[in-house]
Structure 1
């Protein structure tokens, strides 16, 4: 394992081109407080800028992935009318933007419960790998809140509008097997092999054409909310960029030479 950089509430490790970000408040199931928001955003910015990191794992320490907002940390609840909207804008929205705008694959390894903003965090990642101990909960409605941190965007796009409505207004638990069946998660791995298998999978992504993966992310986010003509034109623009990368040239060379490509992420 590469060098470990530790904030107060997040650890960051590097191994074979993979940045491993671990939420590290296990005593409260990795619930968000202000420090965790800050440390996670800093870690996401670091891996986004680090040329040695070509794929990212986001996971949790202990028994949970992330249980959402730490309600014991909400000092503004003492106010007659706390400004939750401002809190979402300042503390959570930047995290979701950092994930979606990162031009590298970022995989949520959901090792336990992902609830509320923790569920949103996992849904914002490009893929989700789960174990039998995983549980997704759109828990907002349980405390009289609407969705936030991107769940209203990601949830219906992953599972469809009708099922998204059901999960959001009931706040029920979604176990791992159901999560895979309905498209909330991508693959189910036995818990004792979760970290090992996930790291093996993400290492393969780290060996891929990183620039192309970043462009694919861009095109999918744009394409899902545009018309056909707009999608076609944006694809053409991005393909122009891809055609100028060293990875594209290596892909062509390896094909002609009948050998596996050796991508450098450039």
Structure 2
């Protein structure tokens, strides 16, 4: 695996199946720079193509997940036209798709601030764990921007359209318990236990068949844009593939022996 400047990428140890990506700019509360976006896209592509990876844990270094887009990085780009800005957004589109379309389940372990693009990135994960000191905010309106990195897609699907509008238009900060109550997170845990709980959850998922995990994730993601007939067809096609997998045969034989 390539070494990066702004992230840490850890491959699964032994046969654990658990990979970890850590946003690693703690001095800036892991603000999302252009380099970090590019490095995250590259790492996600490599991990997604690696058959040993069954689960990915995404976290932030220090006491923050991600404070949002790096404003200094934005200012350093200088004045740009709308067309130039549109071209610049391409790297964030690639990053967003790489995370949303990651082959296997992704767990976001969110500690401290997840503001702006940081919140958007967390919501792209399949499962979100929050520490009890986590704070989330669609902060974009405070700097004259609109939500990006997939938030316009994920947020209304998680909390409903009216609540999504309220969060995006007011840029109101919410704490971990409120975020959990809205459906933005699976669990809230003490901050000292966050990483251990993320690994425990990842271990329970990694016990499954890599093929079945991937197919289940993809099918559930498709369900919100599909009807029952389409989903039944996806079930049949996916099950046909899963039934031929070595993991299914081994599990079935083990069950019979019991």
Displacement of 1:81 after TM fit? 4.8
Partner of 2:65, secondary structure, is strand
CA RMSD across the alignment: 1.7
Q: What runs of 5+ residues in structure 1 fail to find an aligned partner?
A: 259-266
Q: Among 5, 9, 13, which residue is 2:6 paired with?
A: 9
Q: TM-score, normalised by structure 2?
A: 0.92
Tell me the alpha carbon deviations over residues 207-261 of structure 1, each in whole angstroms, 9 at most, x when there is no partner: 2112111111111121110222222222222222212211222232232223xxx
CA contact (8 A) 1:140 1:146 kept: yes
Q: Distance in 2 between matches of 1:208 and 1:115?
A: 33
Q: Distance in 1 between matches of 2:251 and 2:153?
A: 34
Q: Distance in 2 between matches of 1:132 and 1:238?
A: 38
Match of 1:55 in 2: 55
Match of 1:221 in 2: 221
Bigger shift: residues 78-87 or 68-77: 78-87
May I ask how many residue pairs the two structures share in their alignment?
A: 254
CA contact (8 A) 1:20 1:58 kept: yes
| Residue 109 of structure 2 is aligned to residue 134 of structure 1 | no
Q: Distance in 1 between matches of 2:251 and 2:167?
A: 42
Displacement of 1:5 after TM fit? 5.8
Displacement of 1:28 after TM fit? 0.7
Bigger shift: residues 130-139 or 93-102: 93-102
Q: Distance in 2 between matches of 1:145 and 1:157?
A: 21
CA contact (8 A) 1:139 1:171 kept: yes
From the superposition, tell whether residues 256 and 93 of structure 1 become closer, same or farther in structure 2 (CA, over 3 Å): same
Match of 1:263 in 2: none
Q: Distance in 2 between matches of 1:210 and 1:134?
A: 31
CA contact (8 A) 1:103 1:211 kept: no
Match of 1:164 in 2: 164
Bigger shift: residues 41-50 or 19-28: 41-50
Displacement of 1:100 after TM fit? 2.2
Displacement of 1:79 after TM fit? 3.1
Match of 2:151 in 1: 151
Partner of 1:21, secondary structure, is strand
Q: Distance in 2 between matches of 1:82 and 1:60?
A: 32
CA contact (8 A) 2:6 2:23 kept: yes
Q: What runs of 5+ residues in structure 2 fail to find an aligned partner?
A: none
| Residue 194 of structure 2 is aligned to residue 194 of structure 1 | yes
Q: Distance in 2 between matches of 1:204 and 1:250?
A: 18
CA contact (8 A) 2:127 2:185 kept: yes
Q: Distance in 1 between matches of 2:100 and 2:79?
A: 33
From the superposition, tell whether residues 103 and 81 of structure 1 become closer, same or farther in structure 2 (CA, over 3 Å): closer
Match of 1:98 in 2: 98
Q: Distance in 1 between matches of 2:54 and 2:23?
A: 20
Q: Distance in 2 between matches of 1:228 and 1:77?
A: 50
Partner of 1:57, secondary structure, is strand
CA contact (8 A) 1:21 1:58 kept: yes
Q: TM-score, normalised by structure 1?
A: 0.90
CA contact (8 A) 2:38 2:95 kept: no
